[in-house]
Structure 1
Amino acid sequence: MKVAVIGGGGREHTLAWKLAQSPSVDKLYAIPGSAAMSEVAQCVDIALSDLDAITDYAKNEGIDMLVVGPEVPLTEGIADLAQSKGLAVFGPNKAAAQMEGSKVFAKNLMKKYHVPTAAYASFTDGDAAKAYIKEQGAPIVVKADGLAAGKGVVVAQTEAEAIEAVNAMMEDHIFGASGGRIVIEECMVGEEASLLAFVDGKTIVPMISAQDHKRIFDNDEGPNTGGMGAYAPAPVVTPEIRKEVEEKILKPVVDGLKQEGITYQGCLYA
């Protein structure tokens, strides 16, 4: 079969590298790809933002499946568009991609379906957000609602730092429209791990756990980054914790989305 990987970053390079090894893949494309990806795939220079051009190219080229890496095309509906043109696609549709594209959507869904999550409140008014920070105290976490390339979270150690983050997101618009709505969250201290799962809408198949190095400096200091490298499996995720995550987080989220009329297909990121 012919497969196209959508994207051009490190994640997409890894996907392409592995797909190229599959006996099922006769030809591999990367849109737009990168110089590194050209070693394993035919790179096609179409902008990631041009969803019509990507899906039209795939249709005309007889590509059987799209594997979408980046969040932005997913939140903008590339899966819906591809499916409307008869293309198979690995990745959630626009409604399901809100789990990644809107922290408010994800938090509200978790609250409704009793999935454990840090206490929170959401705001579109900066003054109300600052009043809430003063009421709750610090440390406290401020998050831009939308996508911010992994950098839209400020773990504020003081009220002043939290208020500064609100101003940066809501008044200075450092994350553009993503910061027009924010989530202010309880600060939870401890180790963070990720457990990603393959999902077809009902079946959940978790991968191995992973941990990445979020903070920019040694000893967990400095601002959050998009991740400074990762390792897997994460020792903190014992078989017991893994089972708990599957039963109390992954399954209720997929079932909850289904109850909301949303079928999640692709990779679910916990």
Structure 2
Amino acid sequence: MMEMFTEESFLRIESLVRECGKIMLSANDIEADTSNIKKKSGDADFVTVFDESVQKALIEGILCVFPEAKFFAEEKDNFAEDTKEGICFVIDPIDGTTNFIHSLGASSISVAMLYNGEIVYSVVYDPYREELFSAIKGKGANLNGKKISVSDREMENAVISFGTTPYKKEQYGCKGFSIAHNIFMHCADIRRSGSAAIDMANVACGRTDGFFECILSPWDYAGGTLLIEEAGGIVSDFSGEPVGFSAPGPVVCSNKNVYKKLIALINNK
């Protein structure tokens, strides 16, 4: 399947993503101009003009490389069937928008390419650290061109990150923190970055050892999924089933030594 796609086409996508990172870096004191920010589904669910600009640039640029591509992206109307046939790019233009608004320097661009419903290529780019994570199905994962792999730590020495799903506090807030507390009592420490894509990239390169969130949209985790799998880790839902890419759902990922224990702790077993 991968012979259908050239290395040059993937390099063009990576160059495009780096250019879009410059749009993020151009932002300055976003909160000072209220016209920069809009609320979406809830009090903690925001979109900025920069999200929209990055997404527009990504879609236009990708169509120059793959004219037949469809898109499943955060800041647009989506159709689940688009993710199941042909080429579809799953895009989060700025993952960690709240961090971005508050100038915390912990946001990323996530792009995953599906072919007939399977991820074949992905990129997660952190412009603040100039770190570009990429993976090609069957060819491993890289950070700025160098091979990466998940850690081999056991649970007692593991650092586990998690997401709080702040725009769905009523449904998932207590559950997420309850799980985090349960895990905290069995691992070295807990972290929360505010960008699921960065959290998953950190698992892929072995900085951290696992990540979970009670509910994520496909654009939040699609890019990180292939990174982790190609780096030797595991990604699933909370019941151990493979994640899908057409609807939101729970996500857990880790190295192979931590995975079974992490799943058990999530399910309070």
Scaled to the shorter chain, the TM-score interval is: under 0.3
Higher RCO (C-alpha under 8 Å, 6+ residues apart): 2
Q: If the length of structure 1 is used for normalisation, what is the TM-score?
A: 0.24
Q: Which has the higher helix share?
A: 2
Q: If the length of structure 2 is used for normalisation, what is the TM-score?
A: 0.24
Higher Rg: 1
